[in-house]
Amino acid sequence: MLGTVVWFRQDLRLADNAALDAAGARGAPIVPVYILDDAAEQRWAAGGASRWWLHRSLAALDIDLRARGLRLILRRGGSGAELRAVLHATGANAVYWNRRYEPAARERDAALQPQLVADGFEAKSFASSLLFEPEAVRNKAGSPFQVFTPFWRHCLNLPVEPPVALAARCWTAPTRWPDSLPLAALGLEPRPRWDAGLVAAWTPGEKTATARLREFVGDAMARYTDERNLPAVDGTSALSPHLHFGEIGPRQIWAAVRALSAESGVFPASRGAQVFLSEVGWREFAHHLLTHFPEMPTAPLRAEFATFPWREDAAHLRAWQRGETGYPIVDAGMRQLWQTGWMHNRVRMIVGSFLVKHLRLSWHHGAAWFWDTLVDADLANNTMGWQWIAGCGADAAPYFRIFNPLLQGAKFDPEGNYVRRWVPELARLPAKQIHAPWEADAATLAAAGVRLGQDYPKPIVDHGEARAAALAAWQSMRQR
């Protein structure tokens, strides 16, 4: 039997990989391929932090494949042309891949599949990236869901396929391998190098993802309900970049939680497990929305927000991006993002609210910055999150609910340890003043070595005035 090309995309793993498993079941030689096709991604080609992760994830995947007698072929260019070149070079007669759900990827795949079939090749796509196919989840009226709670309640009553284990059978390598670019030729690593913080924080790859899931489910998940909102505590799974790049799949997460629950006979076994799975549900909901409303990355789902009077202020945007707003919890989050390519989810909500409400800058600015700086930058999650924060999306937080960064900091970082780590110039301030250093007296500031306006900026906006201006802008939109 002729060979099968397995086209890897956002599924950079061997376990629970439906396309790879189907290729193995054919019993034919397998040719794993990854194609960097920036042009097909249009404006949503991977940002700098994502490309950094991708470089290392591809390297890890190649190591894992070589341990099984295969190797990863790397190409750059148009997906269709490169796939055909690999098919002809190897004599393979089939291409298998796992589905993606971004609009540009869906359009490309929908056009490419019949073209390959017309050329005489077998071309199949598989479901391996989500628990539920977005087109298959509908409300009683047959329409897509736009509110999370009924969506997830509906999903919890649907069957979830068990993850596909690594095939016991031996995979067959082709008799001749096609040409492959060296990984460095893809140009994914930053020049000049700015990635020291990412290197210190992350180890991309399937092995790390699997170990992280096992560690989290076995320990931290029991405390997840209490600790997930505390940015100074390692209380979250930190699986989001591994999920985005497909180093682990949601069915593996589901199965791991179910296996733990089997001991008690109740699924989910604990409140922590229930809340954790609901976070996986939010990821499903994001892809559900993006599938049914593909214009969301550029247009608000709530059409009235198209007339919202956003400001344009380059200095304020730059201060937010650099973590120099004068609000410590906001600045800590933005500096964590810059240094590690990741930010705690609670803090993402705080910094997002500050951008769109205190500064009244468009959520598009926030989405673009996150897209370039997050290692877990995902079009569905990023779009839904920013529209949720801005009050213009599905099941969104109302715009008039404005986070007070002082109260948020005091509630979720009460001892100030998160701020001390990421805003070290404030590290010696007492917990009582660390979230509002401008309220500290001169003696306290001097004892902590803080000179406001020099060592650390004064607030770029006043909370009360910014809140009033945001509410006035919202009212003006409503009156239109």
Active site members: 279, 282, 310, 345, 363, 386
d(CA 324, CA 238): 26
Q: Which of 102, 90, 92, 93 is nearest to 40 (CA)?
A: 102
